Amino acid sequence: MTQPQGKVYIVGGGPGDPELLTLKAKSVIESADVIIYADSLVHPSVVDFAKPGAEVHGSKTLNLGEIMDLTLAAVRQGKTVARIQSGDPSIYGAVLEQMRLLEAEHVDYEIIPGVCSAFAAAARLKVELTVPGGPQSIIMTRAEGRVSMPDGEQLKDLAAHGTSLILFLSVSRMVSVVRQLLEAGYTESTPVAVVYRVGWPDEIVIRSTLSDIAEKVRDGKFTLQALVMVGEAMDPNLIHQVPTAANGVASSHLYSSDYTHLYRTGDGESPDDEEGGSDGD
């Protein structure tokens, strides 16, 4: 009799705080027979949700082949596997190579999204990454290091757009990062935030400008697990500004009483003028 195959869940474990797990992620972890988690990046309390008797493996010392051997062996026994990645699996999650192998082995799998560390950091900073009247785009990238970047994706190329810029895997190269950002057109007064281990008990936040952020990161001895967030949106003074016609400080049109969209007619306008509108994602 053929043993039914199990299933693999690639789970976004969030940035650290187990309360930031999605309900679906928690449910999968609670029901999994085998859990393989990135123990250098995923908070250990996340796997405390494992059921009694579940196999739990940390993956920080394992290579891809060893991870997949564990995964496939469990699946062939009809077991459910939760492969827990930090943050959201789609951002620097190294899951593409895992999916390729699962596809080649005809293994059923599902991806459970998680809270990306960038958005957890934005929440911690109390910032909106898309600023009315300011940057409306977000670039997530990394500085070039041991692994090269494609043509056109060098930091100086991307920084030239002047958007809200979020750098992963780059805090150990802050002197080079600052130099490239200044060369691309950011000024020394550009606000910067560095968030170390967001969502963990030892989380640290540094807010400054490009003029001295490299020195502050060096003094903090941050070399891993820190996001670098650059741009106008990171200015802590924005939340204290009151939008008026005189000072030029803008606010979103969406909830303005004179703005018409699909669900509401603005003051002094007719329903025929309505346009589609949506809340932020």
Q: Which of 17, 26, 51, 60 is catalytic?
A: 60
Helix (H, G, I), strand (E, B), or coil: what is residue 242? coil
Q: Which ranges in 139-207 belong to alpha helices (H)?
A: 155-159, 174-184
Phi-psi region of 161 (alpha: psi -120 to 50; beta: other; left: phi over 0): alpha
Closest to 16 (Cα-Cα) out of 261, 196, 242: 196
Q: What b-and-e string marks burial along 23-45, b requiring 16 or more CB atoms within 10 Å of the CB?
A: eebbebbeebbbbbbbbebbbee
CB atoms near residue 206 (< 10 Å): 17
Candidates 7, 33, 39, 79; catalytic one: 39
24 tagged catalytic: no
d(CA 245, CA 261): 22
| CA–CA separation, 42 and 58 (whole Å) | 10
Task: Locate 108 and state its tokens.
Answer: 């059923």
The residues carrying an active-site annotation are 39, 60
